[in-house]
Amino acid sequence: MAGIQELIRVEDNNKLSFGNHIMDEKKKIMGFEVDGDIYKVKTYNEITKLEKNGRLLFESVPGTTVHNFSLNDKIIDFKVEGKEDAQITLELEVDQEYRIYINQIQVGKVKSNLAGKVSFSVEFTNGVQDVLIKKA
């Protein structure tokens, strides 16, 4: 896998892929519409940020490439890759508890803050990581 050349796209399975962690210059796409929702992505090797309808959905520092991102009321699921270990922040529901799984192993349980943000780290020593977050 590698960076998404078009910066954001809808896959055949209707999931989003976005970001390009190998670019040296910041690029962005605004107004990418999917099912009536408007997405904006900013990405390069230092940060990847996805907004949905003007609200933060995903952010990683340093930048990452995200494949097959899906989100519903109970589960967030995606694959992520990067050059360096990354801090990922998602904006979810306020004051909720979530279980975080990386490669099918539960690595923690975290409660969202008053802004609904949840943060965790991902290591890339073994390549692409499979991330699953379940509402507790």
CA distances from 16 to 28, 34, 40, 77, 106 (A): 15, 9, 12, 11, 24
Q: Which domains does the chain have, with CATH numbers?
A: 8-135 (2.60.40)
Structure tokens at 100: 């975080």
pTM for this one? 0.94
pLDDT bin (cut points 50, 70, 90) of residue 96 is very high
pLDDT bin (cut points 50, 70, 90) of residue 1 is low
pLDDT at 3 over 90: no
